[in-house]
Structure 1
Amino acid sequence: MLSLTYLLYFGQLGILTPYLGIFLDGRGFSSADIGTLFALITLTRIIGPSLWAGVADKHGNPLQVMQLGSLLTVVLFAGVFFVQGFWWLTLVFALMMMFWTAVLPQLEVITLQHLKPTSVSYGKIRLWGSVGFIVFAVIVGQSIDVFGSETPIYVSTAVLALLFIATLYITPVDTPQQHDDVSGSWTLALKKPFVVFIVSSLLLQMSFGTFYGFFALYMRDLGYDGTQTGLLIALGVLAEVGIFLVASRIIIRFGVRLTLFISLALTAIRWWALGFAGELWLVVIVTQLLHALSFGLTHATSVHFIHHFFPHKFQSRGQAIYISLTFGIGGAVGHFLSGQLWQDGAGAELAFGMAGAFAMAGALLLFLAPKKAFG
């Protein structure tokens, strides 16, 4: 049941991450509206992870928190069928995202609790999440060609409902209740190595705003159909899965600082190539393969760094700080600025150029940081 839950959770991401822009465009929103809406709903990732981590920590029952989050997510998401207009849809998506942030952190905790007394590896369970992302990204991409821009919303509602049902069949595991020292975790977070790491990670997520918000629309404008777009998205996730299998060896061989520097520098090249030569299918394929570094290797390296930088009792708070600041603030700023520059496709080169500049700035920050700071 854990594998199915991962499949449905990341399957939902495979629907909304690439295709929410298509849905909003179909509803008549401008690119500035789309970027602003993405930015506003992304802001919930600033407070959501820490809020739900505190609730789960206080009550000692992550499974109930996950079930509540799943239920309220699907209930609120269904509101998209009943509202129109920018601010109403923004409110619905923002509230949905607030409860959505309760799901994955608790799922990770529950999964590790279940696997601890067994010989089953975490990777074998987490792999089903990538499978779900690929399957739904391809299916919805094809379906949009046939059924139109409202397709992602109908499929998302069904997937979210199934996700809630799946959580009801997960058995709880009794574990001792732990309480993190929040002030202690922030004391560590203000140290120079972590500040450099966070700022570079924030710049990376700012660079992703253009891709997450407008990639599917960009592909459509360049003449790629929904099936081709879905396959390109799936290719990026496959590359991500492949790098996860060897990430630990790469990190040990090159270290955190150099691994992140190379990944961010190549991410900058990825965005520039996509923005200035996206009409060439071979260029798009190569840029999607670079997703292995842009997301897969940077995420694995970030988790590794936080795990070794924070003592055991502060690690969950360290992860919450990382997610809130980088994916929350960085994602919101990146989405907003991309929406202002996109101009319904006319500013695509400028938007991807900006994204590349953000990623390169993060790479340069890491390059100039003292090597000993990262161990």
Structure 2
Amino acid sequence: MFSARASSVAWPLFGYFFFFCSLNGVMVPYISMYYRSIDLSGSEIGRIMSILTLSTILVPHFWGWLTARLGLPKLSLQIATGGTFIAVIPFYFAQDYGSFWILTFILALFYSALMPLADSFALRSISGLGVPYTRVRAGGSLGYICAVTLCGFLVSRIGVGVIIPLMMVGIAIAFSITFLLKEKPIPLDKGKQVGSFWSLFRLKEVRFFLLIAFLSYMAHAPYNVFIALHLSNAGYSGEQIGLLISSGVIMEIVLFLFFGNIVKRFSAVHIVALCFTLGICRWFFVGWYADSLVVVLIAQLMHCITFALFHMVSIEQVHRLFPEKYAAQGQTMYSAFAIGLGGGSGMILSGYIWELSGGKGVFTFAAIVSALALVTLLVNQRD
């Protein structure tokens, strides 16, 4: 998969993404089941989960500043990964909403920096080696699948108590792999202006891209918080939930491995319109026909379009809109507006909607947000 010249750089990156995303594969879909088991309400679950995404509005700016200050991106990634591992440990002992809120806030200070740091580190490391970013990033999708499937099986056999230990194992291995990563130090030039957040934000095209990304992550927020709980309420076992979630990510891997370059041949506008159109269908079917295994499976296979394909286009747009001089600011801005503000606010709203109308209401909300995004995109292109 990687050439001999690139193997020593690419495989450790592949492994890091594998185990870091295995943490996501356990935490994102299943932690809501654990919270529910200790009698937290839907709104409490939504508020706790939103901390991790809302923190990306501000926290990555600090880590970007630290990396630029030190000129050592590997060290920054190691500190953030090690801090995430240490912050997860107390979750095993907490039992009430207040404790989990505080612990999640501490976790967010490190966890929310991992994806921007890992993405920028990977892109810099593989530069000039002829390795597509999507091929390295496929390690994360594979790790997510393995974690989702394994956790679903163990939850059925052992119970929800296995969720937090699995989170610890994934991030601990990811931290150990950081010592194998090959680093390209950033040249320190204190007299060089690296860019201004507001000067980038004033560009109309940048603002529109961030708005579209905001709506995309808001539409996916109900899925990230309540999909496992929704399917569990519909009568699916832990193994079935794990396999259904992983089925969509399998198609994501295929997309990352084999279609990374093909996507560049098509208009970004047409691709994003496809993502939102299928998003409307996906969330409506998941919300209202969750009792049909075939319908849920088809909806899950759309994940490679609604999320993975949109992510690929977004990475391309970040690189197009922000020159190398502004690369760090561009990645941080994308994380803050899309993942942080879009995903975080979506999680909070989802928690309250869940209490009012359950899974059908939550995923109808996701479909409405996708429809709003599609209309916004089409109106902008007409103008």
Structure 2 length normalisation: TM-score? 0.91
Whole-angstrom distance in 1 between the partners of 2:112 and 2:240: 30
- The 8 Å contact of residues 180 and 314 in structure 1, kept in 2 or not, is answered as no
- The 8 Å contact of residues 63 and 107 in structure 1, kept in 2 or not, is answered as no
Of the structure 1 ranges 119-128 and 153-162, higher mean CA displacement relative to structure 2 is found in 119-128
Q: Which amino acid aligns with 2:202?
A: L
Q: How many residues align?
A: 369
Counterpart of 1:335?
A: 347
Whole-angstrom distance in 2 between the partners of 1:260 and 1:4: 30
Counterpart of 1:198?
A: 210
Distance 1:343 1:99, change over 3 A: same
Whole-angstrom distance in 2 between the partners of 1:89 and 1:138: 25
Match 2:327 to one of 315, 336, 340? 315
Any stretches of 5+ residues in structure 1 without a counterpart? none
Whole-angstrom distance in 1 between the partners of 2:268 and 2:236: 37
Counterpart of 2:228?
A: 216
Q: CA shift at 1:117, angstroms? A: 5.2
1:150-299 matches, cutoff 5 A: 150-177=161-188, 181-183=194-196, 185-244=197-256, 245-253=258-266, 255-299=267-311
Any stretches of 5+ residues in structure 2 without a counterpart? 1-11
- The 8 Å contact of residues 56 and 113 in structure 2, kept in 1 or not, is answered as no
SS in 2 for 1:125: helix
Residues 66-99 of structure 1: CA deviation (Å, up to 9, x unaligned): 1111111111111112333112111111211220
Whole-angstrom distance in 2 between the partners of 1:50 and 1:367: 32
Whole-angstrom distance in 2 between the partners of 1:110 and 1:35: 31
Whole-angstrom distance in 2 between the partners of 1:257 and 1:164: 38
- The 8 Å contact of residues 73 and 185 in structure 2, kept in 1 or not, is answered as no
Q: Does 1:34 align with 2:48?
A: no
Match 1:63 to one of 54, 59, 74? 74
Whole-angstrom distance in 1 between the partners of 2:365 and 2:115: 30
Q: Which amino acid aligns with 2:347?
A: H
Distance 1:87 1:258, change over 3 A: same
Whole-angstrom distance in 2 between the partners of 1:262 and 1:27: 40
Q: Which amino acid aligns with 1:26?
A: S
Q: CA shift at 1:121, angstroms? A: 4.3
Counterpart of 1:45?
A: 56
Identical positions, percent: 24
Whole-angstrom distance in 1 between the partners of 2:200 and 2:195: 10
Distance 1:360 1:189, change over 3 A: same
Match 2:111 to one of 80, 100, 116? 100
Q: Which amino acid aligns with 1:87?
A: G
Q: Does 1:142 align with 2:188?
A: no
Counterpart of 2:6?
A: none
Whole-angstrom distance in 1 between the partners of 2:114 and 2:212: 26
1:301-312 matches, cutoff 5 A: 301-312=313-324
Residues 30-79 of structure 1: CA deviation (Å, up to 9, x unaligned): 11111111123321111122221111011101111111111111111111
Q: CA shift at 1:242, angstroms? A: 2.3
Q: CA shift at 1:120, angstroms? A: 4.4
- The 8 Å contact of residues 257 and 371 in structure 1, kept in 2 or not, is answered as no
Q: Does 1:16 align with 2:57?
A: no
Q: CA shift at 1:125, angstroms? A: 2.8
Q: Which amino acid aligns with 1:65?
A: S
- The 8 Å contact of residues 144 and 246 in structure 2, kept in 1 or not, is answered as yes
